[in-house]
Amino acid sequence: MIIEGYEIYEDKLPKHIAIIMDGNGRWAKNKGKSRLKGHRQGLETLVKVLDTALEVKIPAITVYAFSIENWKRPMTEIKGLMNLFDYFFNREFNKIKQKNVKIYHSGIRNHLDEHTLGIIDKMVSETKDNNRAILNLAINYSGRVEIIESFKKIISDNLHNINDLIDNITEGAIHANLCHPDLPDPDLLIRTSGELRISNFLLWQLAYSELYFTETLWPDFTPKEFVKAISDFQKRERRFGTC
């Protein structure tokens, strides 16, 4: 199929794409706008990319919406980001729900206010039976914390049989205790804004993911460039650690 001028092969589609939506602040600075204007424009980009992912038939998308490290930002920006989740819920949620998209949340609940948690829980609950695609929102997320929490669950489950604890710490057990073990590991990670790092995002799951970096700032990231990233992915030979 031809989408946005690129030939996309349905038998080589990534089953899961992870996105680090970077560059909102720089986009705003370049245009003399507030950082919050940049984040709002980034939300518009997310909606367009999600629609394109549905057109291409990508089964799952995970987006890095708010990291644990983001709590170090100025309080005015943090409050603005929390308000943006409210804006997303009021403006976009019903449309996303009607498109048969299931929403997941990855991240810890600590420090999130009750209003934001209520929004997250409502989106997750009201879309639990949707089955066209999954939008996984990484909010208050840390890859390291996710792995730590997985180990804690394994240890807790084996307290009655501590002698077998070491044998029960396996790749399968760690994966089974991540935020959403039903999601396949991302085949493709996209990061915008020219930064060449993964910033504590899905550290366990990205072990064999293909990485795609672009200089484009997230608010300027178009559906065409999203499809370009998929096209680039389809040209790669994945060896998963083999020769």
113 classed as catalytic: no
- Which residues contact residue 202 at a Cβ distance below 8 angstroms, ignoring those fewer than 6 apart? 18, 62, 138, 143, 186, 189, 209
Set 70, 83, 130, 200: catalytic member: 70
* Nearest alpha carbon to residue 195 among 208, 211, 213: 213
Set 22, 136, 140, 177: catalytic member: 22
- Which residues contact residue 70 at a Cβ distance below 8 angstroms, ignoring those fewer than 6 apart? 78, 81
- Which residues contact residue 196 at a Cβ distance below 8 angstroms, ignoring those fewer than 6 apart? 213
70 classed as catalytic: yes
Q: Annotated active-site positions, please? A: 22, 70
